[in-house]
Every structure is written in structure tokens, then in C-alpha cells.
Amino acid sequence: MTLSSETVVVTGASTGIGAATARELARRGLHVLAGVRRDRDADALRGDRIEPVILDITEPDHIAALTARIDSPLRALVNNAAVQTNAPVEALPLDEWRRLFEVNLFGHIAVTQALLPALLRHAGRVINISSVGGRVAMPTYGPYAGTKFALEAVSDSLRRELAPLGVPVVVIEPGAIRTDMASRVVAATNQAAAAMSPEHRDRYGNLIRAINAQSAAHTPNGVSAADAAQVIATAVTARRPRTRYTIGRDAALITRLSRLLPDRLLDRMLTASLRPHYRQSAAAGR
């Protein structure tokens, strides 16, 4: 079967990695159903072999409409949609925890359940976009990393369930990526910080500012969305894909260290990496 006769679904394709992946897969000859949230995002993405579909993965009606739209062999489902807010475990309201899990975990499970019959019919594959935060949880990353750790666990279980049925399950673990998501995360983090109690701001304010400063320093050196899309497209098209791919040197290094180092040593290394950003954020505040 040729790639031109097959379809790939990419969720969260409005911008960033999702949009770049949709374009790269289309360039390779696949028909892409690209999930977007708004009509203007659809207009910006629509092109040869790219068919935008309005898709909120937490809405059952949207998922049903997507499932009904598939009329050619389904090569892959790329579960990419995600939201992120960085906040201390103590200070983030439970409703916001639930929102992150609804999108970053339960939404992916819902889409996967709906599309698995089509994937099983044509020996397709599931590609779950996790994060280096699915292997190592930095301070204030607990809510987001919690969703990604859970996605990694679900992916492991699903891989072992589907391997005998001929459906590979692949996890992609990006590190820093140069996309607009970094600025959106900082904005969401600042919004969460503004809603904290004075006691929480006193306890965690300096930490949050240091995390934001660290993100601002590292993101410009990250991998481009187009380069990240190349890795994801390889996972979609390879005859025998690996079970995991990291994207970026930072992701490869951190995941390796997480396997080799004792917890307390890794904790000290992560604390040391934040120290310059405490100073940077303090200087910016003067």
C-alpha cells in the first residue's frame, strides 16, 4: 500500500509541532486530517493533502465526527494536543489539575479508543507525543509532568496489548522546542501565580520566576518545530519504528541521567541548574 492512499490523524495541529508535523507528513505523500480548534487555524493550515478538522479532543461529538470522516486506510494517529501550566503542587487548584488531565491524558485515550478499530484493520500505529517531562519532573512541572508520566504508562501498557495485534505504539519525548507554546506556558504560569494566596506567593514566587527565566533562556536554543516534525514523521513511516524517540540533545541527556543517577543526586543537579535563573529573575525585578 502506498503512502498516498493512507491517512494520518494529527491532533493539536493549529501551531507548533502539530502544524509542522501535518505539513511534513503531507510532503511525504500522506493525507493528513489535522485537528484544529478554530476556523482561522484551519484556514492557515489547509493545503495540498492537509484537511483541517475542528477537533476538541475533550468533546465526544468532535471525536465521533472525526471517526466518521476517515474513509481510507488509517496509517497512524498522532496524539499531539496538549496544554501546560507550571505551578507548585500545593498551589494549583484541583479544577486546573483536572483540565490538564482531561486534555493531556483522557482526551488522547478517547481518540485512541475511537480510532483503534480503523488502526487494527490496517495495521496502523499510535504515536503519543509525551515530553522529557514524562521522564523527569522539574519543580512546578508537577501538573504537566503528571499528565505526561501517566501518558507514558498508558503507552507502555497499550504497546504490550497491541503488539500481538500488529499495531505499534510509539512515544515521542521532546525537550525544548522553539514554538509559541513556551510563551503561552509562561503566560499561563503567571496567571496561575497571580491567583495564588499571598502565603503561596511568598513561598513559591521566587521559584516560579526562576523557572520562567530558565524557560526563556533555554527555548531559543531548542529544536525547531520542523526538525521535531522530521522525527515524528519517521515514527509514522518507518517500517519498524522504535518504541521511543527523544527530540533534542537536552531530552536525550536528561532521560539518560534519570536512568543512571540516584534521585538525590539528580535533585541536586536540577537545583544547581536553576540557581543562575534565581539571580537573573532577581536582577530583572530590581
DSSP state of 59: -
pLDDT given for residue 29 in this prediction: 96
pLDDT given for residue 285 in this prediction: 56
What three-state secondary structure class fits 128? strand
pLDDT digits (tens, 9 = 90+) for 16-72: 999 999 999 999 999 999 999 999 999 999 999 999 999 999 999 999 999 999 999
What is the CATH number for 110? 3.40.50.720
Kind plus residue range of the DSSP H or E element containing 37 = none
Q: Is 80 exposed, middle or buried (0-12, 13-18, 19+ CB in 10 A)?
A: buried
What average pLDDT score do residues 223-236 get? Answer: 97
What average pLDDT score do residues 231-256 get? Answer: 96
Range of the domain at 40: 3-181+223-258
* CA 42 vs CA 6, 31, 45, 53: distances in Å: 21, 15, 5, 7
Question: Is 144 noted as a catalytic residue in this protein?
Answer: yes
Supply the Cα-derived Rg of the chain in whole angstroms. 19
In a domain, 276, yes or no: no
Check pLDDT > 70 for residue 272. Answer: yes
What are residue 223's DSSP bridge partners? Answer: 177
pLDDT digits (tens, 9 = 90+) for 60-113: 999 999 999 999 999 999 999 999 999 999 999 999 999 999 999 999 999 999
In a domain, 170, yes or no: yes
Q: Which amino acid is at 95?
A: D
Specify the pTM. 0.94
pLDDT given for residue 135 in this prediction: 96
User: In this structure, how many other beta carbons lie within 10 angstroms of the beta carbon of residue 98?
Assistant: 11
What are residue 129's DSSP bridge partners? Answer: 172
Catalytic residue among 144, 204, 245, 278: 144
pLDDT digits (tens, 9 = 90+) for 171-224: 999 999 998 888 899 999 999 999 999 999 999 999 999 999 999 888 889 999
In a domain, 142, yes or no: yes
Q: Which segments of the chain are extended strands (E)?
A: 7-10, 31-36, 50-54, 74-79, 125-129, 169-174, 177-178, 223-224, 244-247
Please give the tally of structural domains in the chain: 1
In a domain, 281, yes or no: no
In a domain, 284, yes or no: no
In a domain, 110, yes or no: yes
pLDDT band per the 50, 70, 90 thresholds, residue 282: low
Distance CA 112, CA 118 (A): 10
In a domain, 238, yes or no: yes
Task: Please write down the long-range contacts of 181-190, taking CB distance under 8 Å and 24 or more positions apart.
Answer: 181/15, 181/16, 181/84, 182/215, 182/216, 182/219, 184/84, 185/84, 185/85, 185/86, 185/215, 186/212, 186/215, 186/216, 188/83, 188/84, 188/85, 188/86, 189/85, 189/86, 189/87, 189/140
* CA 15 vs CA 34, 38, 81, 240, 251: distances in Å: 11, 11, 10, 28, 21
Q: Are 174 and 129 in contact (CB under 8 A)?
A: yes
- Please, how many CA atoms are within 13 Å of residue 207, restricted to the half-sphere of its CB? 17
Question: Which residue matches cell numbers 503542587?
Answer: 89
pLDDT given for residue 179 in this prediction: 87
In a domain, 172, yes or no: yes
